[in-house]
Structure formats: C-alpha cells, structure tokens
Structure 1
Amino acid sequence: MPQVAAPETLPTFQSRMLELVGDDSDWKDWLSRPRPVDARYVSPLTWEAYKDPSLRTAENNVWFRYDAELPDDRLLHVVLAAYASDYTLVDTVLLAHGLAWGASNVTGASLDHAMWFHRPFRADDWLLYAQESPWSGGARGLARGQMFTPSGELAVSVVQECMIRVAKS
C-alpha cells in the first residue's frame, strides 16, 4: 500500500473543486448535490493538472468510503466497491495528459472493466484506491487500481480500458 496522507487530514472532493471553479454557478450547483461516496484525493484533481502542467502524473491515489453505516452484508460491500471503482479510474488516464472533465472538450467511456475481490472489506470504512495509467494511445487508455483496507491489506484489484476523445475547438 502506498504511504499517503490519512483521509481525515484531506479536504473533500467538493471543497477542492469549489476552490477551483470559483463563482461558476453551474459547477456550484453540481458540487452541492448529495453524494453517497466521500472521496478524498491524495493526488491532484484533473482540473488542477489541467491548469498546472507540473502536476501531471500517471498515478492517482484516492481515499473513499460510503457516507452511511452499512449492514454486514458482504455482497452489498462488493457491489458498492464495484460502483465506486468507476468514479476515478479514467481520471488517472486524464491526469497524465492534463485533461479534465468539463474543462478541455473531453469525452470518454469505459470499454472494459474487470475486478478481482481478494478479501472481505467494508465499503463504509476508508479504502485507499491506488491507481496508475501505464499506457494510452489511439484515443484509448489503460488504468489499473488496487483498493487497500485501512490496515494495508489488498482487498480489490481493478483494470479498465477506456476511450478518450478530445474535440477540436
């Protein structure tokens, strides 16, 4: 497990984005909507790397957890981790190129997504989602992720291929 800052020490995704978008009412409206997942980025946001090329990286570390106490149903936790696994994986491909959703005429879609569940975990406890993008080209990108429990145990492995297109201005 990568050595990163604890989630409690990091700002929420919404608070970081609000600093970046300023007074844009469309973004403020979108960011004010309730979200089931609390995401705390250790890595730069795609918007930060879009504005500052020195922040471009092919790695993305994000802590996440569901905001409600969940029942002791292992399948429910697996399903919720599968849902959350798609939140930030394509961002890892975008980060390496300084692209951002809503800021650089980017469209994208998941082409393939596979997961392996190695041990029980709780989706309402923090999971570190360590992601990397080892390759991109031809309007496609590959991203890999590993979800670690707070004690550092590997719980889930993820691989995704995505399509990324940038519209000409």
Structure 2
Amino acid sequence: TAEEVAKQPMFKEMPEFIRRYYESDRPIELRPVELGRYFGQKIDDGRIHVWIKTAATLPDDPALHMCALAYASDFSLLDAIMARYGRTLFDKRMMPASLDHAMWFHRPFRADEWLLYAQDSPSARGGRGLTRGSIFKPDGTLVASVAQEGSVRERKS
C-alpha cells in the first residue's frame, strides 16, 4: 500500500528535494513504488507504479471523482518514458511535455481513496514516447485506463 511505500528505507534515502515533492501539501497525494528509479535504475519497458489519491475527502458525486482522477492521471505518466532511460521527471537536463491525453472510465471508484496507477511505455524514440496507464482499486478492480504521447527532449546547453 501507499503507507508501506512511504515507510521503506529507500524512500527516506531519496534526495531531499524529491522526497519533499512527494510529501508536500498538494491536492493529489502520490507514492511511487519503484524507488530505484530515483537512483538511476533503468526500467526497459517503463513499467512503473504510483499510488494516488486526493488529499481531501470529496463529496459523493461520481462526476467529481472522475474529474479529480482525470487531473491526477496527468501528474506522473511521462515518468514511464523517463524510466526507460534511467531518468526521472526531476532531471533538469530534460524537457518533458504532454502532447495528448485520453482517458476511459470503466467502473465506479472514489478518488479520495488510494488507487494504484500502473504505467508503462511501449515505445520511445526520437524525443517522443507513448505511455499507457491502468488505474486499479486496491482489490485489483480496473477503474480507468489512460494513454498519453509526450515529447521528452534533452535541454540544449
């Protein structure tokens, strides 16, 4: 679970600016699972996982939960492309930008409860990459799917 990830020794050893990013006061809470990425580990297929939820409890209106999840779904998706190269969205040498983003909702869920965002990147080439995401309840129920193409370029010195 997300709480277990935050208790891992490696989470505490992450560079302080990265740990602050994940612990900061923001509308969406994020807890990355594959922490080795922040120490340069490459993940060839970009397969990463992030626990997500809203920081605040939301009213029972399903439309609000869909809007909140749509907003949250864009926070980390390009990180799957970066993982292929052993880099992260925190790498100042890179300029990642979303080019398009599509989302499908499959089943009811609450965005204010932890959801597992499983992501991968089946293709990355020439400064562009495709990412896909599946969002699950903790019991494994698929609630939403996401696809995004991004530009991921190195900054010119």
2:2 maps to 1:7: yes
Structure 2: segments with no counterpart, 5+ residues: none
2:27 maps to 1:36: yes
Separation in 1, partners of 2:68, 2:134: 15
Give the 5 Å matches for 1:150-165. 150-165=138-153
Q: 1:60 aligns with which of 48, 51, 69?
A: 48
Separation in 2, partners of 1:63, 1:166: 28
Q: What SS is found at the alignment partner of 2:146?
A: strand
Give the TM-score normalised by structure 1: 0.80
2:82 maps to 1:88: no
Contact 1:37–1:66 (CA under 8 A) maintained in structure 2: yes
**C-alpha distance after superposition, 1:35-59 (max 9, x if no partner):** 122211111365322xxxxx21111
Identical columns (%): 42
The aligned residue for residue 149 of structure 1 is: 137
The aligned residue for residue 124 of structure 2 is: 136
Separation in 2, partners of 1:146, 1:92: 12
Rate the CA distance shift 1:77–1:66 in 2: closer, same or farther, 3 A.
same
**Equivalent residue letter for 1:47:** Y
Rate the CA distance shift 1:155–1:122 in 2: closer, same or farther, 3 A.
same
State how many pairs are aligned: 151
Separation in 1, partners of 2:39, 2:74: 20
**C-alpha distance after superposition, 1:107-150 (max 9, x if no partner):** 01111100000011000011000000000011100000000012
Separation in 2, partners of 1:33, 1:130: 22
Q: What SS is found at the alignment partner of 1:11?
A: helix
Bigger shift: residues 114-123 or 93-102 = 93-102
Q: What SS is found at the alignment partner of 1:145?
A: strand
The aligned residue for residue 38 of structure 2 is: 47
**C-alpha distance after superposition, 1:19-76 (max 9, x if no partner):** 4334xxxx48x64741122211111365322xxxxx2111111111112111101000
Q: What SS is found at the alignment partner of 1:79?
A: helix
Contact 1:43–1:59 (CA under 8 A) maintained in structure 2: no
Rate the CA distance shift 1:8–1:101 in 2: closer, same or farther, 3 A.
closer
CA RMSD, Structure 1 to Structure 2 (Å): 2.1
Rate the CA distance shift 1:10–1:102 in 2: closer, same or farther, 3 A.
closer
Rate the CA distance shift 1:64–1:102 in 2: closer, same or farther, 3 A.
closer
